[in-house]
Amino acid sequence: MAAKSPENVYPVKTFGFAAKDSSGFFSPFNFSRRATGENDVQFKVLYCGTCNYDLEMSTNKFGMTKYPFVIGHEIVGVVTEIGSKVQKFKVGDKVGVGGFVGACEKCEMCVNGVENNCSKVESTDGHFGNNFGGCCNIMVVNEKYAVVWPENLPLHSGVPLLCAGITTYSPLRRYGLDKPGLNIGIAGLGGLGHLAIRFAKAFGAKVTLISSSVKKKREALEKFGVDSFLLNSNPEEMQGAYGTLDGIIDTMPVAHSIVPFLALLKPLGKLIILGVPEEPFEVPAPALLMGGKLIAGSAAGSMKETQEMIDFAAKHNIVADVEVIPIDYLNTAMERIKNSDVKYRFVIDVGNTLKSPSF
């Protein structure tokens, strides 16, 4: 992809960390942001979450990365300047920004309040659009694409909610899997899975963790309070639970068959795909036809949903399990993400560890 011209394009001098090529190695980087417009908020970045998607984008796995690539689509900070027409924020407020920072605001998706599905959505980290992510000292964003941060929600453990949180909250709500007493399966206990469990439990569901690792059982039951555990490689366990679940949130990012998951569903049950395995799924038609079952996918959520999710999380004390790291640990963190060596999200302490641009 064509390189951006990052320096001196805009008046607000900014510095952060960027990958310069598909090696995915991050190093200090000077660039610029636009001046604060009448509908914009400018804020000092305090924490920035990172996840497997950042690793994939930094190494151009999907063939759409624009370099230099500044990661960061889970960002929280403190407002330092507001535009003349801003209504949601004042200087000193805490603010959060998630996966996108713009949309056309005219299409059917935008008019119906699901602007995350707009064909012209502008991603925060620039893979759609020409933006730079939040692993830096300063962000400028239209207030429409920022969330008001609740006072009682911790910044460092709350910031992953802007990606993993909304990614799990949105399908639970949209597909009616947020009702007390439902039996909900969560496939995979990782960055998405552990938050899916917490949201489902807060909605009043009975939660079953479906995992390929028996090592997850104790943690799932004792730490996360799931009601039951299924080892998906154990045919007897799986068969014993056939037809018991109202819905399943599948967060598994590796190759697996979803046919056994469909068998776990009750008639009219819903399987929602959140993970992104490289191999396509194969599903025989009878697995869907018998019982009228549904397979759907979901990514992120609207701004309205994101604000609702953040407020819900604050009310129910839902946060992510995080390891806070200094910014100079970022490349090591990426290696650990590659090796699945994190429980369950890394959060970069930008505010305290990103030094002035005397690189």
Q: 33-57, pLDDT tens digit by residue? A: 999 999 999 999 999 999 999 999 9
Structural domain spans, the chain: 12-163+321-349, 165-297
Amino acid type, 191: G
Residue 8 pLDDT greater than 70, yes or no = no
Chain centre distance of CA 95: 16
Burial of 128-158, coded b for 16+ CB within 10 Å and e otherwise, reads bbebbbbbbbbbbbbbebbbebbeebebbbb
Matching fold, domains 12-163+321-349 and 165-297: no
Q: 67-83, pLDDT tens digit by residue? A: 999 999 999 999 999 99
Q: 109-168, pLDDT tens digit by residue? A: 999 999 999 999 999 998 777 789 999 999 999 999 999 999 999 999 999 999 999 999
Residue 358 pLDDT greater than 80, yes or no = no
Percent of the chain with pLDDT over 70: 97
Whole-model pTM: value is 0.94
Supply the CATH classification number for the domain 165-297: 3.40.50.720
pLDDT at 259: 96
Q: 188-202, pLDDT tens digit by residue? A: 999 999 999 999 999
Q: 235-287, pLDDT tens digit by residue? A: 999 999 999 999 999 999 999 999 999 999 999 999 999 998 889 999 999 99
Question: Do 158 and 164 form a contact (C-beta atoms < 8 A)?
Answer: no
Q: 308-343, pLDDT tens digit by residue? A: 999 999 999 999 999 999 999 999 999 999 999 999
Percent of the chain with pLDDT over 90: 91
CATH class in words for 12-163+321-349: alpha beta
The residue that leads in pLDDT, 203 or 10, is: 203
pLDDT at 128: 73
Q: 223 phi and psi, to 5 degrees? A: -85, -45
CA separation for the pair 141, 163 (Å, rounded): 17
Average pLDDT of every residue of the chain: 94
CA separation for the pair 52, 143 (Å, rounded): 27
